[in-house]
Homo-oligomer: A and B are copies of this chain.
Amino acid sequence: MEKTYSIKEVADYFNLPISTIRYYDKKGLLPFVSKNDTGYRVFSESDFGFIKTICRLKDTGMPIKDIKTYIDLCMQGTSTIGQRKQMLQRHKANVLKQQQLLTNSLKEIDTKISRYDSKDSFNLITAQIKFVQHEKKGLKLRDPFIRDPFI
């Protein structure tokens, strides 16, 4: 006979707090989970597959409402295959866009790092500060840099 699992076992397996699993259930993400006659949640092997999918969608930033929509489609059987596919394809497109933004932003941050990393960093930053101070002064704006008390 196949085994069943308690909420703690599932939580440990997926490295999630028990409270999160309860929260997901309350939000309707776990319609496939049964309860026994004393009200305890009873997880089966196949539930792990669904939960894994939920985790992947969560890890890629899908909102809980949308995950619920997806899971609900899954529970409606083969007639929703087209909708599910469309959801995942749209989501994939979003993730790719997000990855692109991340990559581009990181490139700019990397540029900053290499400036800080260069032998010349002190002079570069000093010049930057001087430039800002000159510009602010020309506009009669407050100098934003904090006076070093030791100089």
Chain A residues proximal to chain B, CB less than 8 Å: 1-2, 4, 31-34, 42, 44-46, 52-53, 55-57, 59-60, 75-79, 81, 84-85, 88-89, 91-92, 95-96, 98-99, 101-103, 105-106, 108-110, 112-113, 116-117, 121-122, 125-126, 129, 131-132, 135-136, 138-139, 141-142, 144-146, 148
Contact = CB atoms under 8 A, between A and B. Distances in A.
A17 B47 CA distance: 43
A9 B129 CA distance: 24
B106 A139 contact: no
Contact of A113 (B42, B85, B99): B85
Q: How many copies does the complex hold?
A: 2
Contact of A78 (B33, B110, B129, B142): B129
A28 to B, nearest CB: 12
Given A44-B136, A99-B102, A106-B60, A88 B76 contact: no
Contacts of A32: 132, 144
